Every structure is written in C-alpha cells, then in structure tokens.
Structure 1
C-alpha cells in the first residue's frame, strides 16, 4: 500500500496511550529537522497528556540540537535501547551496557573471521573509535576520540558497538557479523552502508520500551509505534499498533500493521492527527 498526501490513514481500533517513534527517516524530514506540522502535532499530544517516546539509534551526542525541536520534555530511548534519557534534565535515566569481556570477545572473533573489520563505541560518556575506523572521518574528528587499538576504547560504559568494513558489501557484512556473534549481542543496522550496530544481548528499542512501559503502567497493546529501518523491527512487532513509513525498508513494510506517508511529507504527524482526531 502506498500512502500519498491525500490517502486516508488506517487507524487502530483502540486509541493508544503512548506514542513511540523513530527519528531519522521517520519523524524527521530529509534535512534531519522537525517540521512545523510535526511540532504542532507533538504539542497537541502534550496537551492531551499522551507521552511521546523518541526511540532512535542516535547517541546522546547527536541529539542536542533536537531536544528543543521535539518539545524539550519527555523521555528518549537512545542507542537502540542502550540508554533511557530524561530530556528536561539532560541526564541518563538508565543504561544497558555491553560487558567489557563480551566486547573484547566480539573484537577477537570479528577480526579473525572478517579481516578488515574496524570498531567504534558509543558510551554513556561519549564516543571513541579505533584509528582505522572510517578514516575519512578523521579530518573533522576530535583527535581525543581516537585510539590506535580496539582494546583501548572499550570499558564498562559502552552501550553500542559499531563495526565497519570498507571493502565488503553491506548485506554480506551484516549477515556475516550476525552469523558469528549474534548469540552474544543484538545486531542490527539503521543505514544502508557497511556498518553493523551491536547492543547487549536482548537489548533493543522494544525491550527497553517494555521496561519503561512497565514503570508507567502502560500495556504494549496501548502503544503505537513508527519506524523505517531494521533497527525498528522488534519495536514495530512488539507494539499494539505499528506503522511503516512510505520510505521504509522492505522488511519494515512487511512486518508493520499499518502504513503512513513519507517522512519528508509529515507521515508520522498526519497519522497521529488521524489516530487522535487532531
């Protein structure tokens, strides 16, 4: 089903109590910004007392410019479930780290099985990378983020491990990483490049949102979720109602219950307006 600006949006029979939405390729437009229409809808949901949880693969460092645009309040699930962030206070509410011994094991396995693999890590305290990781970044990167070897960048604060390959095709790399380490960590991807994102075993946007909903007394059947890429799949399958963007990856379109418009045409905002009669 293709949704255009004039197509009606199917809505769930039950009115949700919580909205969970991905950002890039979903809530944000092609420029990575929140449109005026989307801000208007988010403000209306706030007036209704419906919480919106931003669920993204983005780390904290990529969010600072967005907090004000999305209302400056509420909670965000960052780094694919690794962090729950309190927006008003700009503090980490909780974190789900990858144990250092697991990180070291993953590094050994992937360097042996897929020579040429390089690594970077997202931490509760910032970002670090191997010197060989995406060398084209180095010109504009902070030198303090770089270490010569993998063992020097891992510690007990890592919430996401990034593995990159400059010679293999994306799907070959994604599948091979999953084959060798998928029993130790959760692997996924949110871009079409040769990059795999790894979280702790069982850590996903969905499992972290489940923990948060348990705290809030909200059942999964009362959640509506939006996404566009494979790192949204578990979230979309878990939520009571789920929407794939018109621009979504084919795997997302296959598994989401509903469809909505393109991310560059306020697809999420228009779907929410229909769901909540805004």
Structure 2
C-alpha cells in the first residue's frame, strides 16, 4: 500500500526522475514557483534531476526554455535530450516494423486513425485529432502508410492510434493484442489513444540505461508518475511515488504516495528530501 510523503526516505536518492503532465505540472499545464524552486534546491543538494515524459521530441526545446536546463527522456523513452534541447540518443521504430504495426492495428480495429512522431516533426491522418504542446511545427497530413514511407532519414520515435468511439479500456486491449511483442504499447491521456514505441523501449529501460552510465543504480532513484506509461519506470526503481490524482493502476503499484499535482506534490516530497540532506550535512559538520 502506498505511504505518505510524511515518512522520510532512510537514504536520500541520488537521482530524481519525474513525469511532467499530471505529475510535475498542475492541471492548467503550468509549473508552480514552489516546484521550480524545489527542483533547483534538489540539484544544489547534489541530487540529479531528469524529466521523463511521453511528450514528443519536437516540443522539448520549447519546454526547456520554460522549465530550465534539465536532461529529458522523451517520447516514452525513445529519445534522450541534453539540457540544451538537442537529442543525445534515440531508439526509433524501424520503418518496416512501423508499417507492419499500422497495418495490423488497422485490420484489427476498424475506424482507427494514426499519427507519427518523428524526431523533429510529426504527421497525422486527417481523422486524427491533434493537441498542441507548444513549439509546434506544421504537421504532415496523409495516410500513415504514406507518412511512414517518408521515414528514411526521419527517425520514427512513436506511433499513436486514436479511436473516436471505443472506450479506452476496450481500445487499448485491442491495440495491445494487435501489436503483441512487436511494439511497446501504453496510454497516458485518459482518451482512447494508444501509444507505440519500439520493442523494449519504455521510460524505465531508457532511465535505467542512462542513469547506469552515471554510476547510479535503480535503488538510488526516486521516481514520480501518474499514468500507465509511468508504470515501467515506477516498478523499476526503489522509491516510486504515485500522485494522489494518479490512475488506479499507478496508485496500486507505487511504493509511496505524493499529494496531487495541483498541491505541488512533487515539490512537497523534494523539500523533505532536501531537508534530510541538509540535516545530515549539518550533523557531519558538527562532528
């Protein structure tokens, strides 16, 4: 059962990994000054911060202009961005595998429409609804098969599928079964929208690989999230926090619970971690 942030961790983590929407950002999409200050305080205390999001790579440079210079794991693990917004690493879906995936899902789920997220831009079918993340480029519009035919030299980081009438649970199960082991399938919006990454590419796999290169193990990471696309990350680290507003599956899986994103829940936990670090430093100086 999830615990409350009032129970301090026995040892401060070496790395904070946090989702954005529904976790770090409030319901209106803003980052509070309290949360901004807590992130900065964590880094001053010597703890690294990485932002881990399902948002596409194309919006990361604009995102960092507003939030500050942090490493970002984007597109559910398919890309890693340096603090200046440039792409440091990608794990794209192979074009042929992407085309076959679209064909399978279209065959199994009539009425589905698709979007394709490349490294710097995106395309979508006419029936696919689009949402703005800021820093948008003009999308390519056309059938997914034609969009994927343009993929050489344009890495495909994520494919999205939407259905206008099927309930999310039914749609997700159908798309997950259609994709099988040929893709990682998840969802994160509460809409009938499924997200596909390359096989074995999740927030968790990229986070653990990236942190491992820094000499930080999964037992030294604290992670925050709210939706099913966060589950691999939350179950891969020693200290996982579900936001109070999280999906039921996330609340059930996380080891700890943080207050909601509209209560600056991440900031509340981070402030406790920083207090622990400063208290220990004070005791060490007193010896």
TM-score w.r.t. length of structure 2: 0.88
User: Residue 196 in 1 paired to residue 190 in 2?
Assistant: no
Kindly state the Cα deviation for residue 69 of structure 1 after the two structures are TM-superposed. 3.7
| Residue of structure 1 in register with 2:255 after alignment | 257
Distance 1:144-1:262 versus aligned 2 partners, 3 A rule: closer
Kindly state the Cα deviation for residue 211 of structure 1 after the two structures are TM-superposed. 1.1
| Residue of structure 1 in register with 2:107 after alignment | 112
User: Residue 228 in 1 paired to residue 190 in 2?
Assistant: no
Counterpart of 2:64 in 1: which secondary structure? coil
Alpha-carbon contact 1:84-1:94 (below 8 Å) kept: yes
Q: Residue deviations 1:88-128, cap 9 Å, x none?
A: 2x210000000011111111111111111111011112111
Matches within 5 A, 1:9-48: 9-48=6-45
Alpha-carbon contact 1:58-1:79 (below 8 Å) kept: yes
For 1:172 and 1:21, the matched residues in 2 are separated by: 29
Q: Residue deviations 1:40-66, cap 9 Å, x none?
A: 111111212211100000113333443
Alpha-carbon contact 2:242-2:256 (below 8 Å) kept: yes
Alignment equivalent of 1:121, drawn from 116, 119, 133: 116
Kindly state the Cα deviation for residue 202 of structure 1 after the two structures are TM-superposed. 0.6
For 1:18 and 1:106, the matched residues in 2 are separated by: 35
Distance 1:217-1:164 versus aligned 2 partners, 3 A rule: same
Q: Please, which runs of 5 or more residues in structure 2 have no aligned partner?
A: 279-287
Counterpart of 2:184 in 1: which secondary structure? strand
For 1:109 and 1:47, the matched residues in 2 are separated by: 49
| Residue of structure 2 in register with 1:275 after alignment | 273
Kindly state the Cα deviation for residue 214 of structure 1 after the two structures are TM-superposed. 1.5
Matches within 5 A, 1:1-278: 9-71=6-68, 73-88=69-84, 90-134=85-129, 145-154=139-148, 155-156=151-152, 157-277=155-275
Distance 1:45-1:184 versus aligned 2 partners, 3 A rule: same
| Residue of structure 1 in register with 2:282 after alignment | none
Kindly state the Cα deviation for residue 74 of structure 1 after the two structures are TM-superposed. 2.6
For 2:18 and 2:55, the matched residues in 1 are separated by: 13
Residue-pair matches, total: 269
Kindly state the Cα deviation for residue 188 of structure 1 after the two structures are TM-superposed. 0.4
Counterpart of 1:27 in 2: which secondary structure? coil
Kindly state the Cα deviation for residue 150 of structure 1 after the two structures are TM-superposed. 1.4
For 1:201 and 1:8, the matched residues in 2 are separated by: 34
For 1:38 and 1:147, the matched residues in 2 are separated by: 38
Alpha-carbon contact 1:10-1:258 (below 8 Å) kept: no
Q: Please, which runs of 5 or more residues in structure 1 have no aligned partner?
A: none
TM-score w.r.t. length of structure 1: 0.91
